[in-house]
């Protein structure tokens, strides 16, 4: 069966994690759940995520009768099930009898039973037990009309202690790591060369000399660390594939897993190829950042929040999730009110629930789902937000917010289904590049690739321009602009791909700290792999102490920014990295103002073939990144799809902007018939029918927008034109007329 044929839900889902397994002795609660779900306009429940101990109470003895009753009851009431495999948490009988199922840490210590997400993905016993329960679930429910998809495990690798490695260091994993390396390199000689093992006497003469790297063993050799990260992601994926195979034995339902955005340990681009569709769990920091604007300072010393900051980080994660398969995804988990695991846990302010849910839809989600439907009475998540709390049933603010949104989603669903965002701009975010650049022992440490990338996403968000996120293996031919900041690693074929992209008219933007190492983290020799396309000669990279300031002087007429230190030209501050480069064929657009490299290139542009390539030698402040992207987007002919302008005086203050501060736009267009959902090649349709513009106000105050043409409100049919007001936290969905 073709992957896209399995793309799940042909319905727009509103629902979430539901744990009836915790309430089996309370039948009246289970009845009430159904009544409340209907009242909340819920049509989906994700079930059985942590229910292994209830599903297989004794080894090999399955008890799925209760589950059958739950699924049937839901189905009879018009509520679909996404059925989970239960490997997210192991039953006690298993860890007691087979300790090998638990993960071994990097000091060689095996975990003791506790928490969740802590299994060894190589353990043969675990795989056998997983296969047993998964096949049984598939046999019983795999073709049940109420079951629409499989939720494989839960947040694979989402171990609370995990930072950059979630790997298991048991003998099975070590053996599998060696197998992985044999398949990658073939011979020890090739491996020794790739890893440059002559350094510190590391030449391997036997495969058994290779151990999983970690704190207690090798942790300085970049080549082995990078390959180990690849292995950890691949080995967990191998387990996930085995889970998929087990449920597919009797079931034709599509499989997904709940992913976590830019989760460093797992290379989700590779994962997405094995899943029929993808989903994300999203818990943004709403109401965590104080607004810096004078009008948001309240009498008495309180300050309104600036939710544009968490919103752009969230938009990045949604764009990434959508781009994994270039098709709609599901928002598998979000909280209807608050979480319980941040240092502070504000409840969502009125309006934020609708806005934050519609933000996911705006960026390509075909669902709004929650963790969790009903709060447990005990254990670690008893005080986490839920649709139904411990008291007052439907008579709460949170429940009413959810029900109101459910109604809105029912109106929007027919228009949203069959559409997706089709950006013409893309940002390179590559897991292997991230692993290598974050491990580089140079410049600034820790490097923080993710945070730096999210800064590059900010201008797209601020300008209301959708942007895909791609990796070096993605097809880039359909984009007009590709930004690849901190592209430290160039995988085989990448330079050629970019060269062709620019040759054919693409606009390419890259930065300092690019083109340094190959796929094995070995440095390139002689010249930058894209020296011809960029037209430059990078020589040194300086990271000055913060007290040694430097600035970027943009030579052309740029946007007016305040003069600094009495200088006359538009100036931007240099942040951490300052590349010292020579311009060969490239035109110098900006130079440094200070230090021994004053007047040398800080930004260059090189015409190549039909396109051009920008190189930001200086790592500029956010205003610099914005100015650079404003220019590159204009070269590429990409702009905010909403035809609008700002009222004065904001229009003069922010000449690049069509939208007020804190407002963004995302556009979903018809997925062309004939083209599969996973296909981005269908160029933007000339027929605007079916196009939806989501105009989102993340300000805690109303804003005004001046429309340059008329649109129709997709929910109530009213015509919107000229000046319109977006209320605090409002999301307006507009259609082209």
Query: Catalytic residue positions?
Result: 155, 333
Shorter beta-carbon distance to ligand GLA: residue 282 or 697 = 282
Report the residue from 155, 276, 366, 736 that binds ligand GLA according to the rule CB under 6 A: 155
Cα–Cα distance between 303 and 628 in angstroms, integer?
32
Cα–Cα distance between 369 and 349 in angstroms, integer?
19
Task: Provide the strand spans (E) within 97-210.
Answer: 147-151
Q: How far is the CB of 329 from ligand GLA (least distance, A)?
A: 15
Shorter beta-carbon distance to ligand GLA: residue 105 or 281 = 281
Report the residue from 231, 269, 277, 283 that binds ligand GLA according to the rule CB under 6 A: 283
Which tokens go with 17? 């994690």
Cα–Cα distance between 734 and 695 in angstroms, integer?
8
| DSSP code, position 625 | H
Residue 47 · residue 20 · CB < 8 Å:
yes
Is residue 231 near ligand GLA by the rule CB under 6 A? no
Shorter beta-carbon distance to ligand GLA: residue 9 or 16 = 16
Report the residue from 154, 279, 438, 666 that binds ligand GLA according to the rule CB under 6 A: 154
Cα–Cα distance between 438 and 225 in angstroms, integer?
11
Report the residue from 21, 281, 366, 519 that binds ligand GLA according to the rule CB under 6 A: 281
Q: How many residues sit in the footprint of ligand GLA (CB under 6 A)? A: 9
- x-or-dash pattern for ligand GLA, window 339-358, by CB under 6 A? x-------------------
Report the residue from 318, 371, 490, 592 that binds ligand GLA according to the rule CB under 6 A: 371
Cα–Cα distance between 560 and 554 in angstroms, integer?
11
CA distances from 280 to 16, 322, 366, 442 (A): 12, 10, 11, 33
Residue 486 · residue 577 · CB < 8 Å:
no
Shorter beta-carbon distance to ligand GLA: residue 333 or 468 = 333
Is residue 384 near ligand GLA by the rule CB under 6 A? yes
Packing angle of the helix pair 352-362, 397-416 (nearest 10 deg): 20
Q: How far is the CB of 384 from ligand GLA (least distance, A)?
A: 6
Q: How far is the CB of 158 from ligand GLA (least distance, A)?
A: 7
**Residues in 557-596 at the binding interface with ligand GLA, rule: CB under 6 A:** none
| Strand 279-281 with 330-333, pairing | parallel
Q: Residues 6 or more apart from 686 whose CB is under 8 A from it?
A: none
| Strand 80-84 with 147-151, pairing | parallel
Q: How far is the CB of 157 from ligand GLA (least distance, A)?
A: 12
Q: How far is the CB of 430 from ligand GLA (least distance, A)?
A: 25
Shorter beta-carbon distance to ligand GLA: residue 178 or 384 = 384
**Residues in 664-693 at the binding interface with ligand GLA, rule: CB under 6 A:** none
CA 72 to centroid of chain Cα atoms: 34
Q: How far is the CB of 50 from ligand GLA (least distance, A)?
A: 7
Is residue 375 near ligand GLA by the rule CB under 6 A? no
Cα–Cα distance between 659 and 671 in angstroms, integer?
27
The backbone torsions φ and ψ at residue 47, rounded to the nearest 5 degrees and listed phi first, read: -120, 150
Cα–Cα distance between 302 and 598 in angstroms, integer?
44
Q: Is the dihedral of CA 195, 199, 204, 209 positive or negative?
A: negative
Q: Could you give the 3-state DSSP secondary structure of residue 664?
A: strand
Is residue 645 near ligand GLA by the rule CB under 6 A? no
Q: How far is the CB of 240 from ligand GLA (least distance, A)?
A: 15
Is residue 18 near ligand GLA by the rule CB under 6 A? no
Q: Provide the Cα torsion 16, 20, 23, 26; round to 10°.
A: 110
Q: How far is the CB of 381 from ligand GLA (least distance, A)?
A: 6
Shorter beta-carbon distance to ligand GLA: residue 288 or 661 = 288
- x-or-dash pattern for ligand GLA, window 111-150, by CB under 6 A? ----------------------------------------
Position closest to ligand GLA via CB: 281
Structure-token match 């062709």, residue found: 500
Shorter beta-carbon distance to ligand GLA: residue 339 or 638 = 339
Shorter beta-carbon distance to ligand GLA: residue 384 or 400 = 384
Cα–Cα distance between 385 and 44 in angstroms, integer?
18
- x-or-dash pattern for ligand GLA, window 323-342, by CB under 6 A? ----------x-----x---
Binding site for ligand GLA (CB under 6 A): 154-155, 281, 283, 333, 339, 371, 381, 384
């Amino acid at each position: 069966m073709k992957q896209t044929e399995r793309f799940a839900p042909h319905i727009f889902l509103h629902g979430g994690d539901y744990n009836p397994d915790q309430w089996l002795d309370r039948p009246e609660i289970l009845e009430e759940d159904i009544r409340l779900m209907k009242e909340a306009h819920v049509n989906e429940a994700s079930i059985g995520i942590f229910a292994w101990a209830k599903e297989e109470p004794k080894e090999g003895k399955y008890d799925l009768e209760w589950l059958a009753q739950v699924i049937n009851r839901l189905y009879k009431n018009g509520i679909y099930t996404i059925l989970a495999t239960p490997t997210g948490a192991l039953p006690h009988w298993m860890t007691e009898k087979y300790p090998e199922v638990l993960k071994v840490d990097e000091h060689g210590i095996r975990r003791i039973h506790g928490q969740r997400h802590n299994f060894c993905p190589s353990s043969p016993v675990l795989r056998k037990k997983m296969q047993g329960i998964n096949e049984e679930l598939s046999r019983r429910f795999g073709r049940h009309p109420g079951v629409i998809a499989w939720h494989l495990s839960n947040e694979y690798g989402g171990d609370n202690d995990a930072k950059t490695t979630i790997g298991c260091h048991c003998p099975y994993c070590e053996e599998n790591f060696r197998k992985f390396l044999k398949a990658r390199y073939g011979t020890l000689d090739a491996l020794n060369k790739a890893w440059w093992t002559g350094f510190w006497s590391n030449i391997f003469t036997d495969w058994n000399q290779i151990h999983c790297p970690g704190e207690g063993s090798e942790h300085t050799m970049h080549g082995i660390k990078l390959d180990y990260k690849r292995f950890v992601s691949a080995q967990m994926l191998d387990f996930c594939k085995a889970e998929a195979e087990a449920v597919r034995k009797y079931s034709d339902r599509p499989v997904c897993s709940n992913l976590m955005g830019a989760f460093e340990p797992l290379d989700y681009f590779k994962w997405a190829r094995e899943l029929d569709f993808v989903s994300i769990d999203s818990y943004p920091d709403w109401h965590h950042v104080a607004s810096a604007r004078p009008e948001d300072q309240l009498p008495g010393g309180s300050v309104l929040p600036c939710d544009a900051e968490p919103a752009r980080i969230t938009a990045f994660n949604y764009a990434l999730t959508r781009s994994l398969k270039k098709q709609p995804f599901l928002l598998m988990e979000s909280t209807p009110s608050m979480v319980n695991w941040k240092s502070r846990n504000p409840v969502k302010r009125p309006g934020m629930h609708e806005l934050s849910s519609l933000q996911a839809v705006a960026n390509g989600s075909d669902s709004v789902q929650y963790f969790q439907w009903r709060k447990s009475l005990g254990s670690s998540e008893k005080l986490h937000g839920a649709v139904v709390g411990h008291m007052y049933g439907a008579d709460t603010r949170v429940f009413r917010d959810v029900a109101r949104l459910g109604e809105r989603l029912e109106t929007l669903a027919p228009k949203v289904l069959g559409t997706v965002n089709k950006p013409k701009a893309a940002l390179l975010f590559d897991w292997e590049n991230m692993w290598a650049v974050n491990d580089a022992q140079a410049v600034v440490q820790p490097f923080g690739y993710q945070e730096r990338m999210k800064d590059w996403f900010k201008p797209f968000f601020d300008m209301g321009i959708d942007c895909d996120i791609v990796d070096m293996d993605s097809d880039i031919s359909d984009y007009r602009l590709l930004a690849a900041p901190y592209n430290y690693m160039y995988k085989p074929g990448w330079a050629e791909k970019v060269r062709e992209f620019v040759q054919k008219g693409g606009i390419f933007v890259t930065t300092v700290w690019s083109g340094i190492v190959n796929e094995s983290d070995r440095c390139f020799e002689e010249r930058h792999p894209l020296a011809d396309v960029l037209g430059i000669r990078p020589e040194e990279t300086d990271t000055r102490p913060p007290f040694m300031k430097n600035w970027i002087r943009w030579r052309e007429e740029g946007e007016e920014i305040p003069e600094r230190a009495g200088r006359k030209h538009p100036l931007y501050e240099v942040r951490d990295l300052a590349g010292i480069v020579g311009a060969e064929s490239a035109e110098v657009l900006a130079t440094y103002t200070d230090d021994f490299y004053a007047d040398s290139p800080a930004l260059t542009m090189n015409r190549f073939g039909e396109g051009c390539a920008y190189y930001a030698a200086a790592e500029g402040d956010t205003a610099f990144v914005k100015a650079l992207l404003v220019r590159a987007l204009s070269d590429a002919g990409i702009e905010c799809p909403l035809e609008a302008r700002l009222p004065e005086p904001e229009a003069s203050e922010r000449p690049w902007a069509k939208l007020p501060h804190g407002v963004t736009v995302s556009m979903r267009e018809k997925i062309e018939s004939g083209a599969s959902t996973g296909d981005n090649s269908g160029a933007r349709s000339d027929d605007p029918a079916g196009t939806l513009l989501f105009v989102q106000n993340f300000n805690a105050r109303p804003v005004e927008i001046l429309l340059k043409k008329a649109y129709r409100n997709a929910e109530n049919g009213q015509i919107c034109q000229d000046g319109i007001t977006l209320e605090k936290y409002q999301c307006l969905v507009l259609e082209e007329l």
